[in-house]
Amino acid sequence: MSSAIDSVLTETRVFGPFDRVAATANISGMDAYRALCEEAEADLDGFWGRLAREHLVWDKPFTRVLNDSDAPFYRWFDDGELNVSANCLDRHLGTPTANKTAIIFEADDGQVTRITYKELYERVCQFANGIKSLGYKKGDRAIIYLPMSIEVVVAMQACARLGITHSVVFGGFSSKSLHERCVDVGATLVITADEQKRGGRNIPLKSAVDEALSQAGTEGVRHVIVYRRSGSSVEWKDGRDIWMHELVEGQGTDCEPVPVNAEHPLFILYTSGSTGKPKGVQHSSGGYLLSALLTMLWTFDVKDDDIFWCTADVGWVTGHTYIVYGPLAAGVTQIMFEGVPTYPTAARFWEMIERHQCTIFYTAPTAIRSLIKAAESNDEYHPKKFDLTSLRIIGSVGEPINPEAWMWYFTHVGRERCPVLDTWWQTETGVHILTPLPGVTPLKPGSCTLPLPGIEAAIIDENGQELPPGTGGFLVIKKPWPAMIRTIWGDPERFKKSYFPPEAKGYYLAGDGAQRDADGYFWIMGRIDDVLNVSGHRLGTMEVESAMVAHPLVAEAAVVGRQDATTGEAVVAFVVLKRPVPTGEEAQQLARELRDWVGKEIGPIAKPREIRFGENLPKTRSGKIMRRLLRVVALNEEITQDVSTLENPAILDQLSQAY
């Protein structure tokens, strides 16, 4: 377990709740919150069953809530049928929401496009009719490799409408990662764009798809649908490739939604684990959508006139739940942004909040920290220069937010009048799990506070014993919840091993270290496994290591995370070459080459910040690489730990000096 877990809690500041927000909050205060928690504690089935009936539209009502007969493969509402897209779009037709703006899309270059719920419904139906005409149907799997756009929402919703399981691959991943995912899900359809535009640059997507599909194992892909974003020329494979705009031409604007079982896989999303290749996290339709919608109402406290903005990319779970599914099911107006927070300047977020009168803003600590740096170096980029009074709630997700960044966000963006919601969750949890609620929870900077109603969380030690407040341990969730991961696609054994190991005594093991304070608040201390968090992106050290050793010159590599003031963690790689240890210019040249190599193997986010060469790695006599020592070396700190089990202690000096 990481040493960070033993750190002592020193934060004593408490803020809120805020009357202005509490007065209208959907969960009106601590009593209302406790009542919901108690309802769930007293009767878990009754609680979720009631909410699922109240908030979702069912084609075939369920009679059973939780089916735990095959635990930990829990099933929810599993004799019920519904359609997710109908629950996001059709439900608003014939209501005032139909003519309300669903998405305010702001392009990289600032151009703004608005689309109403009715128009979005029609676009989704047209596209669904298009893919149906190509022969795709319920049970098929589609890979989606698209930029932030109205089109990606259309594509995902159209898949959901037909019962096609989608797997979105983040546009920043390489063709190699794309290929792996195409093979693993057994995709028959790929939806992409010619290029994406970010920060004033065009980045090719279609060519990466071409490359991925030229590799073995993708023969099942029959079509590649291409959204024309930039208009740049792309290679074309006749019979396989189709322009999105040509496919939808003349298609009807209604398309019957296909009812699916509540357990039908809505999507598979890959995320890094501590070992092996990324895991395909499989999510359900009914339970997932229920919780996506409920957290919009509970956590974000959405109202009819809200302008919601989640800055995440749709390639991550945050974009799935809080752009594509939650906001639409809730019928809220949302902002969607194609670009990056620093283009054309680091004031882009603040300008956009002002321009679109954003009321709920949800972003990542890494973005906040980089904008703090920018604001401190140039006053023009400081949020105080902008009218941010439209904001009511501001949120954070993806990694621990340090108290300094929290305070800056609270003071300068929220102007001390908006609650900061530090939402803890994961790809696997589907939705928020531990989070403050706007009208309920007194806030402590750096704490994700309390579990949502229906969630029972605890801290355990390595024997599964529950730990008292003030003691660091493993974060677990004691009871199943509707939006939880169902399995790892194609690998149920790995699912059990990763999340329900015997030590966890039947609880869901999150993979994070945490502790509670005397008020029961949760403080997340970081991952307990070999998973790094770089700019809010999850990265397995093993993944980076296997990418590195795939390089012909590399004999061995070990990767660790180093704390970084902006990105949270940075990747530091220790490399043994199949040739003598390089120095000077040669070392720099090789480091550059290896960085680019990793960029091609995984994606630019995985590129090591620093590479150090040595003639060996610190190993135990049994040959195990001692990463905990490498973590110290990466920090350029003196090693005070016991090194007596090391086979080759001298190597530590060499690696320290290689800096």
Give contact residues for ligand WT7 (rule: CB under 6 A).
271, 316-318, 397-400, 422-427, 448, 510-512, 524, 527, 533, 538
Distance CA 565, CA 20 (A): 33
Distance CA 431, CA 410 (A): 23
**Which tokens is 331 given?**
């019928």
Complex with ligand WT7: residue 1 or 587, whichever CB lies closer:
1
- What order do you get walking across the sheet with 189-193 strand by strand? 241-243, 223-227, 189-193, 141-145, 165-168, 267-271, 279-283, 487-488
Q: How far is the CB of 527 from ligand WT7 (least distance, A)?
A: 5
Complex with ligand WT7: residue 539 or 557, whichever CB lies closer:
539
Assign 528 to helix, strand or coil: coil
Complex with ligand WT7: residue 188 or 318, whichever CB lies closer:
318
Distance CA 274, CA 543 (A): 8
Assign 571 to helix, strand or coil: strand
SS3 sequence of 452-474: CCCCCEEEECCCCCECCCCCCEE
CA angle in degrees (0–180, nearest 5) for 523-529-534:
75
Complex with ligand WT7: residue 180 or 422, whichever CB lies closer:
422
Complex with ligand WT7: residue 271 or 285, whichever CB lies closer:
271
Provide the 8-state DSSP code for 462.
T
Complex with ligand WT7: residue 450 or 617, whichever CB lies closer:
450
Q: How far is the CB of 164 from ligand WT7 (least distance, A)?
A: 23
**Cβ within 8 Å of residue 625, ≥6 positions away:** 558, 617, 618, 619
Closest listed residue to residue 429, CA positions, set 455, 450, 411: 455
Assign 595 to helix, strand or coil: helix
Q: How far is the CB of 166 from ligand WT7 (least distance, A)?
A: 17
**Which tokens is 567 given?**
């990105």
> How many Cβ atoms from other residues are within 10 Å of residue 202's Cβ?
15
Tokens 């990694």 — which residue? 399
**Which tokens is 139 given?**
């049970």
Complex with ligand WT7: residue 177 or 533, whichever CB lies closer:
533
Q: How far is the CB of 512 from ligand WT7 (least distance, A)?
A: 5
User: Are the CB atoms for 447 and 521 separated by under 8 Å?
Assistant: yes
Q: How far is the CB of 52 from ligand WT7 (least distance, A)?
A: 23
Torsion of CA 536, 537, 538, 542, to 10 degrees: -130
Distance CA 508, CA 307 (A): 34
Closest listed residue to residue 485, CA positions, set 277, 294, 362, 320: 320
Q: How far is the CB of 267 from ligand WT7 (least distance, A)?
A: 14
Phi/psi at 632 (5° precision): -70, -45
Q: How far is the CB of 282 from ligand WT7 (least distance, A)?
A: 14
Region of residue 200 (left: phi > 0; alpha: psi -120 to 50; beta: else): left
User: Are the CB atoms for 591 and 616 separated by under 8 Å?
Assistant: no
Q: How far is the CB of 432 from ligand WT7 (least distance, A)?
A: 8
Q: How far is the CB of 422 from ligand WT7 (least distance, A)?
A: 5
In the complex, residue closest to ligand WT7 by CB: 427
**Which tokens is 518 given?**
């005397």
Q: How far is the CB of 318 from ligand WT7 (least distance, A)?
A: 5
Distance CA 500, CA 488 (A): 12
**Which tokens is 409 given?**
């966000």
Give helix 44-55 / helix 30-42 axis angle, nearest 10°. Answer: 110
Distance CA 420, CA 400 (A): 13
Complex with ligand WT7: residue 241 or 399, whichever CB lies closer:
399
Q: How far is the CB of 33 from ligand WT7 (least distance, A)?
A: 19
Complex with ligand WT7: residue 512 or 601, whichever CB lies closer:
512
Complex with ligand WT7: residue 486 or 538, whichever CB lies closer:
538
139-166 burial code (b ≥16 CB/10 A, e <16): ebbbbbbbbbbbbbbbbbbbbbbbbbbb
Q: How far is the CB of 514 from ligand WT7 (least distance, A)?
A: 9
Q: How far is the CB of 12 from ligand WT7 (least distance, A)?
A: 19
Phi/psi at 11 (5° precision): -70, 125
Q: How far is the CB of 368 from ligand WT7 (least distance, A)?
A: 12
Instruction: Count CA atoms within 13 Å of residue 329 on its CB side.
Output: 28
Complex with ligand WT7: residue 158 or 317, whichever CB lies closer:
317
Complex with ligand WT7: residue 77 or 288, whichever CB lies closer:
288
Complex with ligand WT7: residue 317 or 573, whichever CB lies closer:
317
Complex with ligand WT7: residue 359 or 423, whichever CB lies closer:
423
